[in-house]
Structure 1
Amino acid sequence: MASSSSSSSSSSSSSDIGVILNELTCPVCFELYKEPICLPCGHSFCRVCLETSWEKREADAGCVCPNCREVFPQKPKLKKNVIVANLVENMKLKKGKFGLGVEVQDAEHGDVNVKEGMKSGGSESYCELCNGEAAKRCVPCEILCCEKHLKPHQQKGHKLVDPRVKIEELRCVEHGKPILLYCKDDGSLMCVTCRGGQHWDHDVVGVEIAHAELKNSSRDAEDSLEEKRRLVCQFGNESVDLMKSEINKRKMEKLSLLGKQREKLEQQMEDLRQGKSTMDTALQDLESISFLQGSKDLLKRLETMSDFKSVKRTPLPVLDFSKEEKNLDGLIMLNKNFLEKIQKRQVEHPEKVELDQNNLRRLYGRSPSLDPNSAHRRIKISRDLRTATRTRTDNQYRKHPDRFDCWTQVVSCDCFSSGRHYWEVDVRSSSWWDIGICLNSMGRKGEDSCLGANPESWCLWKHNNKFSADHNDRCTSLSVPRDHERFGFFLDCEAGELTCFGDSRVLHVFRGNFTDPVKPAIGVWDHGGSVHFVHLLI
């Protein structure tokens, strides 16, 4: 019974010592006070700890209590706290009488014998209180504890870490004190002493609070990103559905338009067939061989329905038959007048009736396309294959046997050997050119390949506002009263004639054997100049 009373008394005494030790510990260095002083706010510190804290602050920041953060505009007089100093000395004496190696009971660690002076230098695998397996390391106490001896530290809110963590990693490098605070302003970890220095006016919180806030912030960021991803997916799905709906709507509109145009086209074809039947009946009553020769191309044009071929090449969104109707009406009117004149015997050669440029466009109009494989390297061809431009540098063309290598010329893809053909050339953007035709067999290499300088080519030539008609290196000067924007060419293969028009009048007529295949040709000689095949709306 006496032993139990003695044990209870010893435990109570140890608990009292633990409480007193906490009260006699400096809140800056966490050690027993050394020359304790008291500030007007009532908080005590080691003189050295307080003065060091104030020295690290700026001179105009005033003196701040490291504990309650009260600011003293003028440095207070530091007086020794005699009562605290005496208590510290008595505590040292009380501890000293047991000896450094003698076991005492510490209220920090319950009713367990702890050897004073035993720090974290012990085994990192065993509790420093009972030699059991260590579960955590207490940072403020610098001690390894098992699960049983963790409870007092947890109740006091001490920082606990994995036992494998070295205590040096959890201490401030500058002051050697435990890292307990986090500065939000510069993102640094620090001890209590650091707070009294350059961080005195910063937003400082405990490391646990900072850790919780960062975790919440990270979770909020993840939630925000997830919400944005959901919105992006939703927007993408809605966009795809909208595009599908719009595509289907346009498809139905185009199908409807196509059906209407098909009906109109079939009606026009029926009208043409009736017109052709009427024309065939009228022609059977005519005995003039000259009429048959002169109207052969017209009949061929109506029979082949070239106008409808041009309609088929037109993209669907711009299908418009008003122009075709106008052209058909013009053909019918021209044919009607033509028949009336033949019946009245008003002309001697019907094949030449009304062959001015307007009629030539209607009856024999062509829109040649340029052949890129024949273009000289300093001739640039437009995308629509109708414009030839002279450049100062070579264009990247591949080698080809049809390519001109000496003269900046190009021929068309179209080749004529029979029938009648009319086309026009726009020369407004060039002051030095030659335009005409050449045999498909004309050479493309060397100096003899120049248009008009050999027996295989016929052309108009312009330079320094002078015009001439050239063939086989012979030039015939032409009188052109003014500079024309367009020149027309009418080729009659069977008649062997190439008629050159300028401003609605005949400038020159070439004669030759044009039953051999010939091609329209262009030469551009001035840098930056352009010559253009006109697209005739027929």
Structure 2
Amino acid sequence: MENLLTTQPTPRETGICCTYCVDSPVPAVRSCLHCEASLCDKHLKVHSKSPENVLSDPSTSLENRKCSVHKKILEYYCTEDATCICVSCSLAAEHLGHRVESLDEASENKKKLRNVLQKLITKRKETEERVQSLEESRRKAQEKASGEAERVTALFIDIRRRLDDLEKRVLSDISRQEKEKSLSLSALIQKLEIQKDELSRKMRHIEELCNMTDPLTVLQEPDTGDLCDPEEGGGDEDTGGHDNQRHDVDDLDVTVISDTLHTLCDIISGIRSGIYVESPVDILLDVNTANNNICISRNLKTATWRQKELKRSETSERFQDSSQVMSSRRFTSGRHYWDVEIKRSGRWMVGMCYPSIDRRGGQSCIEYNNKSWCLWRYNNEYYVIHDSKWIQLPHNISSDGVRICLDYEAGELSFYELYDPIRHLHTFTTTFTEPLHAVLCVREGSIKILEGDRKWEKPS
């Protein structure tokens, strides 16, 4: 038996067996620090009755629970030195007067940090969520900046293209004018050279005639009728024609330069008002407002004039005496534009009006009231009209498209001819006091509201 006991590992070596159960070792559930023994449930009852016994969870070694100086069990905790001490240490000079707690008390106090830990965990989670949110915001900002950069790059590419096209067109016009003027001047120079040669011939003939001494020879000289004074008979055709022709071939026409400056201003204005950036608004015609001589297409985009009236119900919204129709959409703010195709219409008006416009009588026509603004084509001439005040445009519209631009807050309603580049026709400036509706007036043919942007070229 002794040999068996000496060969068996001690509980201190195993750290799991009860000290008093060597023959039949069972796992220890507690350790008695005072007895330096590992105990099972059976032997724990005796040791737990003694107050001097200090119990703890089983440990692989009890040596680390002893004071390295006094070799006594560590039972206390010095809060000021933050170290575990034994009874002898608590009485030593280095810990004298310090606050000392039992290990259990100090342990429980330290475990209170769990609340702090939980708060820190929550705070860290919130911080991580905030970081994720900021990273997402940064990603979105980068995407937006990238999109804006692409949009601006595309915008300036378009501007450069428009400026290049404008430069080519202007230089082409100047070159054309130069050729025309050069040909005209060449023709005039040739004509004057002929006149100069003829005058020289007459001068020589007269000099020869004046130098003759024989009267009979002078009188018998033929073809003297064309040697009359240039101021008499036929002189106006030479000198007067020369003067007139000189005025006709005066300096080059500088209006092309003026048009160029206006076009440049239009490009800049277009950029500021978003003409080249934004998309056109979706305009649908309101059948309930259409005059009975106006037929509206199924997609509510085209208005066509018909001589035979349609049998629609008479409502307070419908135009009774003017062949007009309004849009169902109204505008109370912002910047917008929409395009129309007018190639199938001979007589038309396009513009915008207040919903309070009259629906009966002469005042209901959009050129005869102060509640509408329009562009009018009549007898191949173009006018802008508001409140019976007509302004004739200096240029006719060569393209088949017209753009109407609204800047509600700025109080501006502008009309443009649609070809590349776009050309400004006129801008009304006022203060809008009501919502605005698009309005079409068709007195011949049809007008179509276009969807999306189209490239227009000036017909040759």
**TM-score band, normalised by shorter chain:** 0.3 to 0.5
Higher RCO (CA 8 Å, separation ≥ 6 residues): 2
TM-score, reference length from structure 2 = 0.41
TM-score, reference length from structure 1 = 0.36
